[in-house]
């Protein structure tokens, strides 16, 4: 079982969202169907970045690291460097 850190992008609102989960397919569907309070008004979302980790704690730590940067430039660099 692996866990993912992901970055979503809302082209309609020009906003990014960073999160972590166990099943990326289900989670993206939840975001786009408005089942997440913090993202429901900015759908549709596009998956721009994902990284896998063997444990939930490692994924949450990476999510926190990205969020703590508070930098759109860093997020866009991360997306572009993932290739």
Report pTM.
0.94
> Tokens 């690291």, residue?
65
59-72 residue pLDDT tens? 999 999 999 999 99
Identify the pLDDT of residue 83: 66
Q: How far apart are CA 3 and CA 33, in angstroms?
A: 21
Identify which of 31, 33, 34 has the alpha carbon closest to the alpha carbon of residue 7: 31
Q: What does pLDDT average to in each consecutive run of 10 residues of the chain (83 residues)?
A: 95 97 95 92 95 97 96 96 81
Domains of the chain (ranges; CATH) run 3-81 (3.40.1440.10)
């Amino acid at each position: 079982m692996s866990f993912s850190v992901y970055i979503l992008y809302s082209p309609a609102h020009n906003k990014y969202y960073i999160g972590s989960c166990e099943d990326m397919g289900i989670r993206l569907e939840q975001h786009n169907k408005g089942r997440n309070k913090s993202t429901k008004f900015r759908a549709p979302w596009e998956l721009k970045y994902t990284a896998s980790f063997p444990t939930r704690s490692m994924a949450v730590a990476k999510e926190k690291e990205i969020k703590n940067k508070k930098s759109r430039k860093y997020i866009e660099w991360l997306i572009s460097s993932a290739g």
